[in-house]
């Protein structure tokens, strides 16, 4: 297939307009939101691990007290 017959637009990205302030603000907002969600999930995971460790320690203490 020759270049004459191809339907590929080589200027597809060259003619794009610069980002508007709203688009930039939206991108920044979504980036901050994503980071916040990741931090919240990590924090929740840490709390769950601590709770599991405490539960195991309480269970071990009860078993030791029964002996």
Q: What is the pLDDT of residues 1-57, one digit of tens each?
A: 455 555 665 555 556 788 899 999 999 999 999 999 999 999 999 999 999 999 999
Distance between CA 31 and CA 45 in Å, rounded? 21
Distance between CA 64 and CA 56 in Å, rounded? 12
Picking from 30, 32, 10, the residue whose alpha carbon sits closest to that of residue 22 is: 30
According to the model, what pLDDT value does residue 43 have? 97
For the question of whether the overall pTM of this predicted structure is more than 0.75, the answer is no
Domain ranges of the chain: 40-67
Q: Which has more confidence, 4 or 66?
A: 66
Radius of gyration of the chain (CA): 28
51: buried, middle or exposed (CB in 10 Å: 19+, 13-18, 0-12)? exposed
């Amino acid at each position: 297939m020759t270049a004459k017959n191809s339907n590929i637009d080589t200027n597809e990205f060259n003619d794009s307009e610069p980002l508007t302030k709203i688009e930039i603000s939206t991108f920044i907002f979504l980036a901050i939101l994503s980071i916040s969600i990741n931090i919240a999930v990590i924090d929740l995971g840490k709390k769950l691990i601590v709770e599991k460790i405490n539960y195991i320690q309480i269970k071990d203490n009860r078993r030791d007290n029964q002996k």
